[in-house]
Amino acid sequence: MKTRVITAVIALILFVPFVVIGGTPLAIVMGILSMVAMGEILYMKNRKLVSVEALLSFLLVLFLTLPKDFREEYLPGINPVIFVYVIALGLLITTVFTRTKFNFDSAGALVLAGIYIGFGFHYFTELRNSNVYLIILGLIVVWVTDSFAYILGKAFGKHKMIPKVSPNKTWEGSFGGSLVGTIFGVAFVLLFKNQFPDTNIFLLILLIFLLTVLGQIGDLIESAFKRYYGVKDSGKILPGHGGILDRFDSLLVVMPIIFFLFEELQ
Confidence of residue 100 (pLDDT cuts 50, 70, 90): confident
pLDDT of 257 over the 90 cut:
yes
pLDDT of 7 over the 60 cut:
no
Task: Please name the amino acid found at residue 239.
Answer: P
Q: Do residue 116 and residue 181 come from a single domain?
A: no
pLDDT of 175 over the 80 cut:
yes
Domain boundary among 94, 109, 130: 130
Q: Do residue 99 and residue 218 come from a single domain?
A: no
Q: Do residue 137 and residue 115 come from a single domain?
A: no
Domain boundary among 82, 97, 130: 130
Question: Average pLDDT, whole number, for the chain?
Answer: 89
pLDDT of 91 over the 70 cut:
yes
Tens of pLDDT, residues 26-37:
999 999 999 999
Taken in order 254, 259, 264, 266, the sign of the CA dihedral is positive
Q: Do residue 206 and residue 120 come from a single domain?
A: no
Q: Do residue 112 and residue 174 come from a single domain?
A: no
223: containing domain: 132-266
CA atoms of 56 and 65, how far apart (whole Å): 14
Q: Do residue 147 and residue 225 come from a single domain?
A: yes
Q: Do residue 172 and residue 124 come from a single domain?
A: no
Q: Do residue 138 and residue 254 come from a single domain?
A: yes
Q: Do residue 138 and residue 107 come from a single domain?
A: no
Q: What is the pLDDT of residue 35?
A: 96
Specify the number of domains making up the chain. Answer: 2
Q: What is the pLDDT of residue 8?
A: 60
pLDDT of 164 over the 80 cut:
yes
Closest CA to 165 of 100, 218, 203: 218
* 133 neighbors 196 (Cβ within 8 angstroms): yes
Q: Do residue 136 and residue 266 come from a single domain?
A: yes
Domain boundary among 113, 130, 147: 130
Considering all CA atoms of the chain, what is the largest pairwise distance in Å, rounded to the nearest integer? 59
Q: Do residue 196 and residue 257 come from a single domain?
A: yes
Confidence of residue 265 (pLDDT cuts 50, 70, 90): low
Q: Do residue 239 and residue 207 come from a single domain?
A: yes
